């Protein structure tokens, strides 16, 4: 299984009052960009062969960059960004799609979600 993290959302909403960084994924939480927490959660589960970040490598802490297989330019829309991530994978394996703005994501929540997904046939799993 592979994972795609959508990290291209411009920081133009209510979070702009908290942080002036360009992208939401860069917003600092307890000394780390939000994106770091999502990468760490995905990395804690060994079933992910590749992790793709759709967004700039500069959003992620230097010590975590080696945990990401590819950084892909974000598109002009969520769908275009997703397509950019899928195109770099060129895979028939299932793909987990996650956004970068879930810093409380953890291994237990991911494992529970993946277990529930395994009970349904699908190629792409995305939690709403």
pLDDT digits (tens, 9 = 90+) for 32-43: 999 999 999 999
Q: Please write the tens of the pLDDT for every residue from 13-28.
A: 898 898 999 899 999 9
CA quadruple 68, 3, 126, 116: dihedral sign: negative
Q: Tell me the C-alpha distance between 94 and 60, whole Å.
A: 25
Please give the chain's pLDDT, 128 residues, in tens. 999 999 988 888 898 898 999 899 999 999 999 999 999 999 999 999 999 999 988 889 999 999 999 999 999 999 999 999 999 998 888 889 999 999 999 999 999 999 998 898 877 777 77
Using alpha carbons, select from 56, 60, 37, 52 the residue that is nearest to residue 106. 37
Pull the structure tokens for residue 98: 């996650």
pLDDT at 124: 73
pTM, two decimals, is 0.91
Burial category of 106 from C-beta neighbours within 10 Å (exposed 0-12, middle 13-18, buried 19 and up): middle
Give me the long-range contacts of 12-18 (CB less than 8 A, separation at least 24).
none
Burial class (CB in 10 A: 0-12, 13-18, 19+), 78: middle
């Amino acid at each position: 299984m592979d994972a795609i993290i959508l990290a291209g959302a411009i920081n133009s909403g209510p979070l702009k009052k908290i942080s002036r960084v360009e992208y939401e994924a860069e917003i600092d939480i307890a000394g780390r960009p939000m994106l770091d927490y999502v990468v760490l959660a995905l990395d804690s589960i060994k079933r992910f062969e590749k992790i793709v970040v759709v967004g700039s490598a500069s959003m992620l802490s230097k010590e975590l960059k080696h945990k990401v297989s590819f950084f892909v330019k974000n598109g002009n829309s969520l769908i275009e960004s997703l397509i950019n991530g899928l195109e770099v994978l060129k895979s028939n394996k299932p793909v987990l799609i996650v956004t970068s703005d879930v810093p409380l994501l953890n291994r237990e929540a991911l494992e529970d979600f993946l277990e529930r997904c395994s009970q349904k046939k699908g190629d792409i799993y995305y939690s709403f």
